[in-house]
Structure 1
Amino acid sequence: MSVNTPCIILITGIMASGKSTVAQLLAERMDRSVHLRGDLFRRMVVSDRKEVNPDADEEVLAQLRLRYRLAAQAADTYCQAGFTVVVQDVVIGPMLQEFVSFAASRPFYTVVLTPSIETVASREAGRAKKGYGAWTVADLDRVLQQETPRIGMWLDSSELTPEQTVDIILERLQSEALVEV
């Protein structure tokens, strides 16, 4: 596959797994691309924003689905305009399959970054923004490992630089990351 063919590539994983950095570097490797940060749609909610916590009720999950639908629709719009769209967001658990179904454009690729709990904790400690509060790294990793459908490419990036991670994604995208729906 040419990485310049319009498509959607979802980069997901738990918080501090390297999604933002990898998605940006991946998008920069393509001639016509967009780095779409799904969390932007969460931050747009000014009043009554629901934060996802371990005991999320249906109202919280409905707002999360809305965020994912909006991200998928924006990705579709860019893709239909001829862009390769690298979507980056925390999409784990059963909702990963839902996210894929929200996007109409194909091909659709999924890359799940799975660095070790220790690596994520170290990255979280070293960054200015803090993502963990109600969730622990271990709790979120448990959802990723035990509740997330095994679709797309799963990549342990614990020992990889962001550039090496992108190199591997590009090498294996066609053979491992394509999601058939």
Structure 2
Amino acid sequence: MIVSGQKEMNENPSVEAENQLDLRYQLTAEVAKGNSKAGFTVIVQDNYYGEKLPYFLELMAPEKVEPIVLTPNADVIRERECYPRKRA
């Protein structure tokens, strides 16, 4: 988790925001593969948009990966946006 210096992702992310996202995916893949090699079943949960999903799947090679894509409809998304999550 980045405590300071994090660049926000948005519709037009900065180069640094893209670099931070790529680093997050790289580190996630390393941890997931390490746990898999140690004999654990691993689930990775994140948001992968556009070309980022194939990028992440490449990082996971040669591990067997079964992507599951959740695509809520627009009504569900609108409802979620009306009720922001409470932070503990």
TM-score greater than 0.5 by the shorter chain: yes
Contact 1:76/1:105 (8 A) holds in 2: no
User: How much does 1:125 deviate?
Assistant: 2.4
Q: Does the alignment pair 1:78 with 2:60? A: no
Structure 1: which 5+ residue stretches go unaligned?
A: 1-43, 131-181
- Tell me the distance in 1 between the aligned counterparts of 2:68 and 2:13: 25
Aligned equivalent of 1:112: 69
Aligned equivalent of 1:98: 55
Considering fraction of residues, name the structure with more strand.
1
Q: Does the alignment pair 1:59 with 2:24? A: no
Moved beyond 6 Å, runs of 4+: none
SS of residue paired to 2:67: strand
Q: TM-score, normalised by structure 1?
A: 0.45
- Tell me the distance in 2 between the aligned counterparts of 1:74 and 1:61: 20
User: How much does 1:124 deviate?
Assistant: 3.2
Q: Which amino acid aligns with 1:103?
A: M
Mapping of 1:29-178 within 5 angstroms? 44-129=1-86
RMSD: 1.7
User: How much does 1:126 deviate?
Assistant: 3.0
Aligned equivalent of 1:151: none
More deviation, 103-112/120-129: 120-129
Identity %: 39
Structure 2: which 5+ residue stretches go unaligned?
A: none
- Tell me the distance in 1 between the aligned counterparts of 2:81 and 2:32: 28
Q: TM-score, normalised by structure 2?
A: 0.87
Provide, for residues 96-142 of structure 1, a one-character-per-residue CA deviation record: whole Å limited to 9, x for no partner. 11011111342111111111011122123234249xxxxxxxxxxxx
- Tell me the distance in 1 between the aligned counterparts of 2:41 and 2:82: 32
Count how many residue pairs are aligned between Structure 1 and Structure 2.
87
SS of residue paired to 1:66: helix
